[in-house]
Amino acid sequence: MTERTAVEDLLHVYVNDHRAGATGGLALAQRIRDEHAEDNIGEVIGGIVGEIEQDAASLERLAAEHGVSRNLVKHFGAFLGERVSRFKLNGRVWWRSPLSPVVELEALMAGVDAKRNLWRSMQASAAGERSPLDFDELIRRATDQHTRLQGLHADAARTAFGTASSTHRTGEARDDGAGFAVGPTGACL
């Protein structure tokens, strides 16, 4: 058995951290989809779940290319962490709070951002240099996922905290204050 180099050790840690994140993120996205099966959130997240599954498969291909074995402790920890997060205090004891989708969508957006940064790191490094993965496409898809999640998040925030103005209901695009054009449903344009 050959010893790994320091760079290989770092790659193993990094890839397994992202595998754990993918496990937790996918479980969260599936739960959001299932809890919102009858509304727009469920419909949009349903599409994103399929993409997250594809991204996780790409991550597994990257791990296989570099001989990265799965760290079961991290994998189980991510799975358990997502389950425990369901019991977070949200101001309500017996039912879901309007705050729940806001926080859950923020967590999912953070995961998508981390995934996009993984692909950027691999694209910029020797580890990704010989990879057959299309990092440009993976980065584009993560960016698109984040944009769709931003629109859902804005809608969830308006539901939880009220609207800042009534202009978003007119059907006209508006600026969300961060320089993004936002349509009447809260989706970034």
Which pLDDT does position 33 carry in this prediction? Answer: 96
Confidence of residue 48 (pLDDT cuts 50, 70, 90): very high
Ordered by start, the domain boundaries in the chain are 6-182
DSSP string covering 35-90: HTTTSHHHHHHHHHHHHHHHHHHHHHHHHHHTT----HHHHHHHHHHHHHHTT---
Highest mean pLDDT among 94-98, 159-163, 165-169, 170-174: 159-163
Which pLDDT does position 176 carry in this prediction? Answer: 55
Q: How far apart are CA 107 and CA 116, in angstroms?
A: 14
pLDDT, one tens digit per residue, over 106-147 is 999 999 999 999 999 999 998 888 889 999 999 999 999 999
Beta strands at 181-182 and 174-175: parallel, antiparallel or unpaired: antiparallel
Which pLDDT does position 94 carry in this prediction? Answer: 59
- Note whether 160 and 102 are within 8 A (CB): yes
- Give the three-class secondary structure for 13: helix
Count how many Cα atoms sit within 13 Å of the Cα of residue 84 in the half-sphere of its side chain: 6
Beta bridge partner(s), residue 174: 182
Which pLDDT does position 167 carry in this prediction? Answer: 45
- Mean pLDDT within 83-103: 69
CATH fold of the domain at 6-182 = Ferritin (1.20.1260)
Token code pair at residue 179:
């320089």
Between 86 and 42, residue with greater pLDDT: 42
Return the axis-axis angle of helices 135-161 and 99-124, rounded to nearest 10°: 160
Whether the model clears a pTM of 0.85, i.e. scores above it, the answer is no
